[in-house]
Every structure is written in structure tokens, then in C-alpha cells.
Amino acid sequence: MSIVEIPLSSVGLLTLQDVAGRLECSLSAVQKWTAAGLLPVVVAGSGPKRTFLVREKDLKSFKRPPRGRPAQV
């Protein structure tokens, strides 16, 4: 049996680095959005070898938060 590698994007998945590139922002910004639950992720693997992936459909519906600190009320 041979293993065939295919790009994640061909199955609708993007790495966090890919997301940062598409949104033209930093990787740390994408990580904050995923940690806050603003951008859903799929987790592949476990432990230190886990990889966080974003579905293209979730990225298309993502509303980027405004920059800067929230206004004080």
C-alpha cells in the first residue's frame, strides 16, 4: 500500500499559518481568535503533535474582530 500525500486545502482544511496568510495578519492573532472561540478549529493528532486546522467554510463566514482594545463603557 502506498501513501499519497494531498494538500490539506484540497479537502477544505487550512493550517493556522495559511489562515494568517489569507487574512494578512499575524499567526498570534489567529491563535488568539481560535483560543477565544471566534474561529472554530479541527484538532488533528494528540499531545504535543496535535495540529489545529480551520475549515475553509468557517474562514469564509469569519468576521474579523475590530483592531485595538474594546471601548470602555
- Percent of the chain scoring above 90 in pLDDT: 62
What DSSP letter does each residue of 26-70 carry, written as one string?
-HHHHHHHHHTTSS--EEES-GGG-EEEEEHHHHHT--PPPSSPP
- Percent of the chain scoring above 70 in pLDDT: 93
pLDDT band at 55 (very low <50, low <70, confident <90, very high): very high
pLDDT tens column, 21-48: 999 999 999 999 999 999 999 999 888 8
pLDDT band at 5 (very low <50, low <70, confident <90, very high): confident
Cα–Cα dist 33/64, whole Å:
9
Tell me the pTM.
0.79
> Options 2.40.128, 1.10.10, 3.60.21, 1.25.40; which CATH number does 8-60 get?
1.10.10
